[in-house]
Structures are given as C-alpha cells and as structure tokens.
Amino acid sequence: MSDSPNAAPYRVLARKYRPRSFDDLIGQEAMVRTLSNAFEAGRIPQAWMLTGVRGVGKTTTARILARALNYALPNGSGAPTVKLAEPGLHCEAIMESRHVDVMEMDAASHTGIDDVRQIIDGIRYAPVSARYKVYIIDEVHMLSEKAFNAFLKTLEEPPPHAKFVFATTEIRKVPVTILSRCQRFDLRRIDAVALRNHLATICTAENVTFDDEALALVARAAEGSARDSLSLLDQAIAHGAGRVGVEEVKAMLGLADRGRVIDLFEALMQGDIAAALAGLSAQYDAGADPAVVLSDLASFTHLVTRLKLVPAAADDAVLTDVERTRGADLAARLSVRVLSRTWQILVRGLPEVQASAQSLAAAEMVLVRLAYAADLPSPEDALRTLRDGGPLASPRPPASGGAGANGGNGGTVGSLRGGGAQLALAASRPDVAPIMSAPAISAPAPRETMRLARFEDVVALAGEQRDIMMKAALERDVRLVRYEDGMIEFALVPGANPAIANDLGRRLQEWTGRRWIVAVSSDEAARGVPTLAETAAAKAEERREDARANPLVQAVLARFPGATLVRVQDVVAEAPPAGETDDDNGNGIQEGWELASDDLSAYIDDEY
C-alpha cells in the first residue's frame, strides 16, 4: 500500500482481477466457443440463461456479453464480436456497470410484478447510444410467479434492440416456460489446476512470494469458485505478511496436515483407536477443526477409491507427493467394500460433528464408530459363512510384535478375506507400525452362553433388559423372514425406523456376549408376514369370537343391551384337591371374560 495520502483505496483481488473479456475467463471454454460461433454466424438469440455455483463468473460473463453485443470502436465501426482485445467505445462504462443502455437488476430485492412492469414499459424505447439495450437480471429464480408470467410475452418476442441476460444459482426454480425462451449456459466449476495457475499469475503480478502447495490448498478450498479463491488468496497474503506459505495457509483455513490425515486414516484401517484419538487430538491442538479433519478423511477415502479404480488419477497435478505415493499404496491393499463403508460412516458422521456443541467429542465418537466397524465382516460374508455352516472367524488376530499366524512374518498381520477390514497391509514405511497389529476395541467380556431358540425369546430378552423401546419395535415394526440362533433376517413395516437392525445387533452383542448377524430383507413376499403385534391381535380377536359364541356370554349380552366384550383372559384358580383338576394337566386354569356396561355394573353393585 502506498504511503501517499492521495493514493487510491485498495481494491480486493476479486475486483481488481475481474475478467474483462472472454479471453480472461478460465474454465469456460465450451461457452466461449459457442458464443464465438454464434456471433460470427450472426445467430444471436434474444436471451441467455447463465447458471452455476457461486463465484464462477455469471454476472461477469453477463457484463462481457453486454460489452460484446455493443462493441464499437471510437471511429464508429464495429459489430457484435467476442474478440475484445481493443477497448471499445462503451466497454469501460459497461464493465463498471454505469452504462445507460445496460441495466442490471438484482431479482433478490426486486421480486414483484411492478419491477418487471417497469422493464416492459421501458423496453419499447430505443437505446440511447449503444447498439442494444441489455437487461441483466441476477438471481432471476427469486422473481415471483406473477413476475415470471409477465415476462413471458416480452421475452419471446422482444423488440430487435433488446437483449436479456439472466443469472441464477438455482436453475430448478426457474419456470420451464422461461427456460424454453433462453439459450442456456451452465458455467462449470473451475478445475483446481487451472485455478492454481491463475492464482500463481496473480501472485506474480502482485509481487507476492508463494509456495505451489499453498496455492493448491487455496484452490482446493475454493471448490471451483474463482471469486472464493481470490478472496482466500487476499486473506492468505495478509495472514502471511506478504507471503503465501503452506503452514500459514493451513493455519488460516484450519486445515489438517495431509500427512497426519493419512496417518490417522491408516490407524483407523488397522482399528488402532488409541492412535486414532491421539492423532485427532494432536491435530485439534494444532488448530485444525474436527469437522475439517473428518472432511479431509472423507476426501482421502475418495482419493484412495479413485486410485484403486482409476490408477491414472495419480497423475493429477493438484495431488501432493505424500497423497500420491501413500494413497496409491493404500489403494493396492484396501478393498472397495471397505473404502465404501468408510466413506459412508464419515459422510454420515460429518453433519453430527458440525451440529454438535462439542465438536471434538463428536468427532472422536465418529472415529470410534469407524475403528469399531473395521473388524466387522461384510453382511454378505457373514451370511455366507453361516449358510456354509462354518463359524465366524475371529475378527482380529492376536496382537503380536513377533511371529504370529503368518509364519513368523511380523510385517503383515491378518488377511483380508471377503470384504472385512482385516487387511493385509504390510508396513511400507519403517516409521509406521504394521496395520492390524493391535485390536481396535476390546471385545465385551464373555458371559454364560445364552441360546435364544425363537424370535420371541429375543423379544422377551429385550423386556428383561428393560429396553422397552426395542421390545415395542420388535413387536410392532418387524416382519420376521428367517431366524436362527445368532442370525435374524426381517422386513420392516412402512415408516419403521431403518436403524432397528443396527441397534438390535449391538444390543444382542451386549446381552449375549457374542456377535449377531441382523439383516433387513428386501423380499417382496415378506410384506405378507404378520408382526408379533398383528399375530397377538389376531389371536385375541379369535378368542373374543369364541367367547361371544359361549351361551353364558350371549345370555349376559342379551340381558344387558350395550354391554361389550372387552377381553378374554386365562384365570388361574385355586389348586383343586388331589385327584380333581380343571384340565388334563392339573393346572387349575379356567377361562374368564371381562364385559363392560353401565347397566351391568349397576346390576352387579345392586345384587352383590
């Protein structure tokens, strides 16, 4: 900044380096080519619709379009063109949004039909000095329904001197009747490599020293938005006192160190929860946001999956060396099934961390969940093992620093078979312990072997454990398809909580001290299977029908009009003398009925 008191005020980089021609736009080559061909052929439509995420250049493109439509040299020559190397007569005023014939309107604050009526009333007048009257309407999706309807006729048949350029981030909210009258361009997110090169050019022009990796971090954080990247670069220059360095950018963005993220990922894949929690705590103490750490873990999981499926992805210039080498190594050793499960847990846990008042604790619980799932076989493998009649393998081999089950090779512990996370990951680096060298979470203490022969026994066990919500869900929401001791397969009634299977599996492991396979069936035939509550209700109704057919009950109902049969229950009578029983088993059980009626109650009170 100049020390002169008359120096011009500082302009942020996003405004200072705003594109002024189609040549300055980055990442929008397809749109520029289409417009260039249309202008050269004279096939210029009456309206354009520009859509894309924030910061990709929709409003800037609209102004460049207005400049191209009204391009004229000072001598009066010129025609609509995309070649704007030489400034034209109207260019400066249009780009500064102060030209009388180029009108910009923010639909977010001008949503009503009266605002559109002003445009319709003024559009019939010829432009003052330019070739076309150009109306730029930003965030057009926020116009009201009546405003959109008022636009239809004018937009379909505008005067020859009028052009419209619409911009929106919510293209789905724009009526189809409007879209059909416009030529649509979807402005793409800017590639991270192109964005990094653009930032490097600006740093050079501003005499700012920078690290390539730091600019790559800024480009990645901008998520394809040129404006966001320039705003972040402005902040990074100020944060680093005129230098854009890696550590400064990480501290500014609250990013986790990529090497530490990969170390954390490896600890989770081996189920070493102690190392994982220590790694997260260290990154938190260094200033990393727990939600950002989880987001980086998810990004690295996605990267490893891509490297496994598309090895050529390692050539991406945005990747750091540590991501490229260690990511490729992990991709060769992890299965897609394990990576997919890891992704699902991280993506579902991220909103919990972002919404929690204790973000570190919430992130730790997500890591616990992830490390705990690391020793689980896939449902398919577990069911296959049970179907084949073999026992489920121990989830982890014993931790050992020396010879183990691998014949003395301490570099590889465990093996991946069938999609579980017992991964045959050899330690490719001397400073990293072999993966799967320690258990993630100690197994619950075994209790006396508990066998549950029927599904009803599971429901009864939930009652004994005072888990009333689970007991009610099993009775009301579950249609049993298949049951064996250790395995349950069921379908859910419409509207039931889809997490019942996971919750029941955890509860049964706690209650019985062994793992259970609990799966939700998608078999259409399961829809006809009644729930326990429906079965009980059907039996109760059947007993009521039998009771209504009893002559004594019929006599009581006839004697007291309005009386109803409430329920039928078994009554345990006093034990009869020896040799005299009420049933074949000598149980002393007789059937009783409960009837309800005001007259019946009054009669009983009077008589007894």
- The sign of the CA dihedral 78, 81, 84, 90 is positive
pTM listed for this prediction: 0.53
Q: How far apart are CA 500 and CA 35, in angstroms?
A: 55
Give bridge partners of residue 565 from the DSSP assignment: 595
The answer to whether the CB of 261 falls within 8 A of the CB of 250 is: no
Q: In this predicted structure, what is the pLDDT of residue 363?
A: 92
Of the ranges 259-268, 419-428, 468-477, which one carries the lowest mean pLDDT score?
A: 419-428
Task: Compute the half-sphere exposure of residue 571: CA atoms within 13 Å on the CB side of its CA.
Answer: 9
Say what percent of the chain tops pLDDT 70: 78
Q: What three-state secondary structure class fits 187?
A: coil
Q: In this predicted structure, what is the pLDDT of residue 605?
A: 45
Calculate the CA 147 to chain-centre distance.
Answer: 35
Does the pLDDT value for residue 537 go beyond 70?
Answer: yes
Does the pLDDT value for residue 391 go beyond 60?
Answer: no
Query: What domains does the chain contain, in order, with CATH numbers?
Result: 13-186 (3.40.50.300), 192-253 (1.10.8.60), 254-390+414-440 (1.20.272.10), 455-529 (3.30.300), 533-607 (no CATH)
Which pLDDT band holds residue 288 (cuts at 50, 70, 90)?
confident
For the segment 175-194, the average pLDDT, to the nearest whole number, is 88
Q: In this predicted structure, what is the pLDDT of residue 422?
A: 38
Which pLDDT band holds residue 406 (cuts at 50, 70, 90)?
very low
Residue pLDDT, tens place only, 437-492 = 333 333 344 444 577 888 888 888 888 888 888 888 888 888 888 888 888 888 88
The answer to whether the CB of 421 falls within 8 A of the CB of 374 is: yes
Q: How far apart are CA 321 and CA 319, in angstroms?
A: 7
Largest CA distance in the chain: 127
Residue pLDDT, tens place only, 251-262 = 787 665 677 888
Residue pLDDT, tens place only, 495-517 = 888 888 888 888 888 888 888 88
Rounded to 5°, the CA angle 549-555-559 comes to: 140
Which pLDDT band holds residue 518 (cuts at 50, 70, 90)?
confident
Residue pLDDT, tens place only, 578-594 = 544 444 444 444 455 55
For the segment 153-177, the average pLDDT, to the nearest whole number, is 90
Residue pLDDT, tens place only, 69-95 = 988 888 777 788 888 888 888 888 888
Q: In this predicted structure, what is the pLDDT of residue 249?
A: 85
